[in-house]
């Protein structure tokens, strides 16, 4: 598409919202009101991030102060699922190696059932060593745990019972768990991360990939990295086309929507940040004009 083309010609793009489970928006009534507003305005999805614990005092690369509020993403999404009907509900992301995969598989299936099949499961291997260490996960194992946890969860969602799984971190025989997720095969898996390992994981195990705080140029590099991974690593046919989601760094307007679409991005997940709830509501209303041009 030619630069400077009119707003009506912006390519198709899904528009979601990130982080309403954190900062002042974590207050129960504020979160509910903002989730309802986002759905009423036509946003496609709500994404909730995760940090179980944060280093205190704050050290790099921690993204938040240890006293900043951030609600558990699955708990928050279940809370707002009861107050919404259409908007998709995404974890952006769950730090998977920190989770017990059988327990998480049950929680995810439960939320998918309760939301009527609206869940998107975003996962990542994690990057914050103090958090991983506090939960008892060595940094050196975070990638291998993430891969295996995805495999055991998918087995529990899809294999006819009784289910058996023999891995390095999970070794079980003769188990089952119901109800299974509403969505066939379980919720779509979206893999976060900018490393070659994350690209490989997205290609081999994910329905999508998620990049956080990306410029257009950085997103283009990540799309190229994913394409390289797809050349060297076969992608299972049942996963279909890899969907690219990005939380943009900086301002977002129609021109930037067009620019992200041109480099292969399918969904923009907007970041209101740590504004007070009233300012978050204003942000959602202002950016709702993008929903009209991202057709």
pLDDT (tens digit per residue) in 23-78:
999 999 999 999 999 999 999 999 999 999 999 999 999 999 999 999 999 999 99
- Cβ pair 77, 122 in contact under 8 A: no
The domain defined by 7-293 carries CATH number 3.20.20.30: yes
- 2/70: higher pLDDT: 70
3-state class (DSSP) for residue 27: coil
Query: Which pair of structure tokens corresponds to residue 291?
Result: 């929903």
pTM above 0.85, yes or no: yes
- Cβ pair 109, 177 in contact under 8 A: yes
Q: Predicted confidence band at 10 (pLDDT cuts at 50, 70, 90)?
A: low
Q: Tell me, what's the pLDDT at 230?
A: 96
Mean pLDDT of the region 79-83: 98
- Cβ pair 199, 225 in contact under 8 A: yes
Q: Predicted confidence band at 12 (pLDDT cuts at 50, 70, 90)?
A: confident
Which residues, at least 6 apart from 39, have a Cβ–Cβ distance to it below 8 Å?
84, 85, 86, 87
Q: Predicted confidence band at 6 (pLDDT cuts at 50, 70, 90)?
A: very low
Q: Tell me, what's the pLDDT at 2?
A: 30
Q: How many of the other CB atoms lie within 10 Å of CB of 22?
A: 24
- Of the candidates 201, 206, 164, which has an alpha carbon nearest to the alpha carbon of residue 185? 206
pLDDT at 280 over 80: yes
Report in angstroms the alpha-carbon separations of 268 from 13, 187, 201, 205: 7, 19, 21, 21
pLDDT (tens digit per residue) in 119-174:
999 999 999 999 999 999 999 999 999 999 999 999 999 999 999 999 999 999 99
Q: Predicted confidence band at 294 (pLDDT cuts at 50, 70, 90)?
A: low
pLDDT at 231 over 50: yes
pLDDT at 98 over 50: yes
Mean pLDDT of the region 2-17: 61
Where exactly are the structural domains of the chain?
7-293
Q: Tell me, what's the pLDDT at 151?
A: 98
For the CA atoms of 241, 230, 108, 143, the dihedral, rounded to the nearest 10 degrees, stands at -170
């Amino acid at each position: 598409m030619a630069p400077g083309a009119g707003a009506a010609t912006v390519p198709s793009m899904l528009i979601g919202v990130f982080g309403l489970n954190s900062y002042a928006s974590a207050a129960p009534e504020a979160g509910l009101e903002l989730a309802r507003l986002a759905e009423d305005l036509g946003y496609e999805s709500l994404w909730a991030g995760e940090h179980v614990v944060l280093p205190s005092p704050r050290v790099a690369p921690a993204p938040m102060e240890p006293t900043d509020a951030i609600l558990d993403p699955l708990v928050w999404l279940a809370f707002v699922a009861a107050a919404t009907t259409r908007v998709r509900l995404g974890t952006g992301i769950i730090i998977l190696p920190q989770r017990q995969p059988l327990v998480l598989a049950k929680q995810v299936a439960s939320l998918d059932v309760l939301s009527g099949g609206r869940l998107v499961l975003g996962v990542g291997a994690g990057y914050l060593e103090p958090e991983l260490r506090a939960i008892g996960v060595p940094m050196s194992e975070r990638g291998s745990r993430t891969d295996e946890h995805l495999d055991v969860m998918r087995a529990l969602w899809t294999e006819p019972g009784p289910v058996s799984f023999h891995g390095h971190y999970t070794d079980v025989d003769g188990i089952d768990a119901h109800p299974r997720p509403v969505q066939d095969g379980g919720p779509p898996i979206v893999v976060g991360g900018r490393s070659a390992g994350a690209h490989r994981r997205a290609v081999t195990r994910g329905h999508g990939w998620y990049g956080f705080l990306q410029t257009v140029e950085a997103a283009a590099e990540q799309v190229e990295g994913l394409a390289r991974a797809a050349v060297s690593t076969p992608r299972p046919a049942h996963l279909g086309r890899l969907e690219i989601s990005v939380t943009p760094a900086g301002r977002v307007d129609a021109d930037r929507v067009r620019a992200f679409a041109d480099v292969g991005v399918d969904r923009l997940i907007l970041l209101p940040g740590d504004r007070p709830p009233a300012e978050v509501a204003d942000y959602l209303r202002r950016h709702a004009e993008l929903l009209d041009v991202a057709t």
